[in-house]
Amino acid sequence: RVSERAPERERERASAPERERERAREPERERERARQKEKESERAPERERERASERAPERERERASERQKEKESERASARKRKRASERARQKEEESERARAPERERERASERARKRKRGSERARK
């Protein structure tokens, strides 16, 4: 059993110096990773600006579309107001026409009263 594992142990011993070298290189790798991170974080504002400038046309289109919608809604409400006032005017004219015969009768009876008073005065 011990002799079966001998080659494995031999390989482990042979790779021990290699593992040691790997461990020795680890701090250097750490520093390299830290440098990369630093470089990335330095570039972050620049990348953010790039992304913002890429998004700018899209945002401008959105704002333009927003303005367009506002104009449309303003026009629509103006049309609505105009129609409402037109309807009110027509309704008013309609009621005026409906009252016209009644007013005419009132005027006629007023004239008759005046004539009657006038003829009574003339008799006195």
The model's pLDDT over 41-66, given as tens digits with 9 standing for 90+, comes to: 888 888 888 888 888 888 899 999 99
pLDDT surpassing 80 at residue 81: yes
Cα distance between residue 20 and residue 28, in whole Å? 14
Does this model's pTM top 0.85? My answer is no
pLDDT surpassing 90 at residue 85: yes
Residue type present at position 53: S
Q: What is the DSSP letter of 1?
A: -
Size of the chain in residues = 124
